[in-house]
Structure 1
Amino acid sequence: MEKEEVIDLGRLLQLMLERKKVVGSIIAACTILAIIIAFILPKQYESTTLVQTRSAGKDIGGAAAMAAAMGINVGSLGGSSSNASPTNYIELMKSRRVLEPIIDEMEWPDGKKPQAKDFAKQKLDIKNTKQTNLIEVTAKGRTPEEAQMISQGVVDNFLTMQTENSQQTQSLLVRFLNERIENAKQEADDAAAKLAAFQKEHKLYSPNDQAKLAIEQLNAYDKTIGEMQVAQKSAQAQYDVATQKLGEQKAGAASYNINDNSTVQSIRAQIVAKEVELVGLRQKYTDNHPSVIAAQRQLNQLSQSLSDEVGAVVNSNAASLNSAQMELLKNQAVAQAQASAASASEAAIKAKKAEKETEISQLPEAVMDYIKLESDAKIKQQIYTSLVQQCEQDKIQEAMESMDIQIIDNADLPDVDKPVAPRKKLIASVGVVLGLIIAGIYSFIIYRKVESV
């Protein structure tokens, strides 16, 4: 068996003391070298900008405005707070569109500019502060002015990009709605003209009490049918915008078979049933009655559940997409599901209306024709009025979109005498530690030589 080697630490320490000049020189040399390096390394400064997201639940590109105009919960279009979460904003701040103007403004050795992703790794530290809606943008620069310029530039460029994107998408919504408004206006005018012509021809301007009662009963159906048609047109406008944004992925939502999902179908059936129930309540009570309010609240909750389920389906099928594409797909899929639910509700309401019309079919033919024409005119006018109101809301939203991010603290100007790097004391300490390690290795080598003699 080989003899186990034992190191005599006392003897090793004695050898180090005997050669203390050499050992001290090694430690001193490493320390001096570290200090020299600390003074040679270029200085770096840090500047921080603090921003706040106005609303974590806003959808990208005006989808929230569309939801409000449709009478749908704002969070229902495309999911929840992840839509415009601080995490998404942080990634967008590192995009080429935000960073390239800053890179172009700076001077680079030999004119070789870094890629945006490399620049972000070297110069930026963007983080969500303690999981709040606050974002800290910290930038490193060779001078205090450069650090301040980078930090402020990132936020300013990001705000500009968000404003342009929001206004572009909102303008698309307005354009699509304007097209539908023109059609709705023409249909409303035609329906009103037919009613006026009928009144003139038959000298029938005010139906009898029985007809008035029938008209009042049908008004609740007409109101809901109008709402369903507006919801379908609005959802189609949102779907068109999301499709245009997705470009080549415009068939993405359809590929997930949103409307074939069993849970989506179940929720949609509940929405249809609740819409029919709400019509019945409106025939008895005003919109301010507790029963009507409760039914409307339950309907909103079902609509939110439908949107949440659609968002979950998209998440499970498109996990590989980036956050922006994911939200566009969610908006597209939710619009598709909302349009389907509105269409199914409209069909159910029309069936109930047909039953009511059958009950009052004993009225004179002229009165029946009058009721039908007046009903059609009211529905068409309601659609037109609702679309105009929605378009105006979207125009207002367009002006408000740029307020999604607010600057709390502008980029500070670092003290020229307080660079964050190089950290001279730390580098000197590393030099001392490195010197001790080298001195220890040197002493151990001497020890082995002495012991082997």
Structure 2
Amino acid sequence: MTLDLADIIRVIRKRVRLMVCIFLIAVFVAGVISFLIPPTYEAETTLRIKQPKDLADSLLADVPIGNTLVTQQLMSTYAEILKSRTVVEDMIVKTQSGKSKKVRYEDMLDRITTEPVKDTEILKIKVQAGSPKEAKSGTNTLVDCFLARLTTLVRSEDAAVGDFIGERLIEAKQDLDRAEDALEQFKRQQQIVAPEAETQALVDNLSKLNELKAENTVNLAASRARLESAQKQISQEKGEFIADSPLIEQYKAKLADLEVELVSLLPNYTDKHPKVIATRAEIEETRNKLNTEIARVINAETPSMNPIYQGLLQGKIQAEVEIAAANAQTAALNKITTEGEEDLTKLPAKEQDLARLMRDDSLAQDIYVMLAKRREEAKISEVMQPTDVQIVDRAVLPDKPIKPNKRMNILMGAFLGLLAGSGLAFALEYLYKTINNGDDIDYYLDLPVLGNIPDFEQSAAMDQRRLRKQIGKLIPKNEKEEKA
């Protein structure tokens, strides 16, 4: 059976009361629910995600489409770190310390939204809460916890090196005090004012060698600390990574040979000697090529462009290179020092003792000064180390709630009520096809109506009700006339 416009109008006229009732009920329910739902406020902050310069140049060398892909991957990476359990739970502790019932991590995660702005380095962060103050505080605290976590990840290697240098500095100060006391006591006992020229030359040479050995020892220990820290974090992130590149091994071997050559030149030449300058320039060039190759291998072997993970991998491989070079330097320095010790044995016994004490004192001074300098450099590096994330705008108090949208809810309720009322009206019309009046006979049977039999019982009941109403109106009026 097909419907035309006349049928639709007829059904609407027939069921208009039902449709209006359902419409009003739906609007009323939507309005009540909208006013009963507690309001939800949302605060927003924006961050700028910069590409790390140390990795970007080398890592993007093989990317033909520019930096857009890398920027998007950086956004996704930092968004996941921001939503990590460590960051979110830290934010929950700081914002809800005084509350008896704290929000669970999973529930808080549903309130956090990250949205990168297309074709920019901007990342929007939104946090929802039950009040404007909580929304603002939660958003700003979340960003602070996120930046603190990034700082911890990025500076972990520097912290490990700084801790090692701090411990070694205390030991170096004690060694320096003992060496100075021993030298002073020996000079006083032997009544020596100044050593012989030959002894002084040997002491200076051995002191320089020992200074190089001490510096090499510190560098070796620092590299091992960085390697241990990087390996620990890599194992926590994604497991072990092995860089299998013949070119890396070639550069590592060449760098070790150049470091040994430099060590053999320093005892005999000054820093401004052409041979020393040329060797150091070649070492720098080899290091740059090695770093480029390391970055290329990391970019090829790791499908994820996680900058933190790649930085850990690069730091790990560089630490391994530094350890290999330091070990080669140690072997060369030990050999040269042994030759110097043999020359020292040719001196008289008294001069030998004096030379050794002077050497120990000079070495202790050099080690202490070097460690103190390295410690200050580590502190400065830790404080001044740049971050790839900058806060553009902090969150402010939101003016109005984002939920519930009362106007939209009422409009939606009205639409659903109208839809439900119309649907029910047409369903009743075509499911229950009963003949109630002459119009139904004309519509369904297409027959002329000659007459109808009235319902006398219903008419009598209606007449009785009408009569009672009229009597009720007349009785009070007669009573008023009698009283008057």
Aligned residue for 2:40?
A: 44
Q: Between 13-22 and 344-353, report the one with greater CA deviation.
A: 344-353
Paired with 1:312 and 1:87, the residues of 2 have a C-alpha distance of 21
Say yes or no: does 1:286 pair with 2:278.
no
Paired with 1:27 and 1:15, the residues of 2 have a C-alpha distance of 19
Of 195, 198, 202, the match for 1:204: 198
Say yes or no: does 1:100 pair with 2:93.
yes
SS in 2 for 1:46: strand
Paired with 2:290 and 2:409, the residues of 1 have a C-alpha distance of 61
Q: Tell me, yes or no, if the aligned pair for 1:272 and 1:348 is still in contact at 8 Å.
A: no
Aligned residue for 1:91?
A: 83
Paired with 1:83 and 1:397, the residues of 2 have a C-alpha distance of 26
Paired with 1:229 and 1:134, the residues of 2 have a C-alpha distance of 45
Q: TM-score, length-normalised on structure 1?
A: 0.62
Q: Tell me, yes or no, if the aligned pair for 2:127 and 2:138 is still in contact at 8 Å.
A: yes
Q: Tell me, yes or no, if the aligned pair for 1:230 and 1:386 is still in contact at 8 Å.
A: no
SS in 1 for 2:164: helix
| Structure 1: 5+ residue stretches without partners | 1-5, 60-80
Aligned residue for 1:113?
A: 102
Paired with 2:28 and 2:418, the residues of 1 have a C-alpha distance of 13
CA 1:308–1:180 in 2, change beyond 3 Å: closer, same or farther? farther
Of 131, 136, 139, the match for 2:127: 139
Aligned residue for 1:71?
A: none
SS in 1 for 2:96: helix
Q: TM-score, length-normalised on structure 2?
A: 0.59
Overall identity of the aligned pairs, in %? 20
Q: Describe the superposition over 1:230-277 as per-residue Cα deviations: whole angstroms up to 9, x where unpaired.
A: 43121123345557x769x69x99x94848765643342243355467
Aligned residue-pair number: 399
Paired with 1:403 and 1:331, the residues of 2 have a C-alpha distance of 17
Q: Tell me, yes or no, if the aligned pair for 1:258 and 1:264 is still in contact at 8 Å.
A: no
Paired with 1:396 and 1:285, the residues of 2 have a C-alpha distance of 26
Q: Tell me, yes or no, if the aligned pair for 2:260 and 2:329 is still in contact at 8 Å.
A: no
Please give the root-mean-square deviation of Cα atoms over the aligned residues, in Å.
Answer: 5.8
Amino acid across the alignment from 1:119? M
CA 1:157–1:348 in 2, change beyond 3 Å: closer, same or farther? closer
Structure 1 or 2, whichever has the larger Rg, is 2
Paired with 1:174 and 1:83, the residues of 2 have a C-alpha distance of 31
Q: Describe the superposition over 1:175-234 as per-residue Cα deviations: whole angstroms up to 9, x where unpaired.
A: 31133345566778999989x999977651566xxx9xxx7xx98x98876664443121
Q: Tell me, yes or no, if the aligned pair for 1:307 and 1:334 is still in contact at 8 Å.
A: yes
Paired with 1:380 and 1:265, the residues of 2 have a C-alpha distance of 36
Paired with 1:168 and 1:269, the residues of 2 have a C-alpha distance of 28
CA shift, 1:301, in A, is 1.4
Q: Tell me, yes or no, if the aligned pair for 1:88 and 1:323 is still in contact at 8 Å.
A: no
CA 1:141–1:276 in 2, change beyond 3 Å: closer, same or farther? same
Paired with 1:27 and 1:442, the residues of 2 have a C-alpha distance of 11
Aligned residue for 1:295?
A: 282
1:408-447 maps to which residues of 2 (within 5 A)? 408-415=392-399, 418-446=400-428
Of 14, 21, 32, the match for 1:19: 14
SS in 2 for 1:204: helix
Paired with 2:346 and 2:75, the residues of 1 have a C-alpha distance of 55
1:332-347 maps to which residues of 2 (within 5 A)? 333-334=316-317, 336-346=319-329
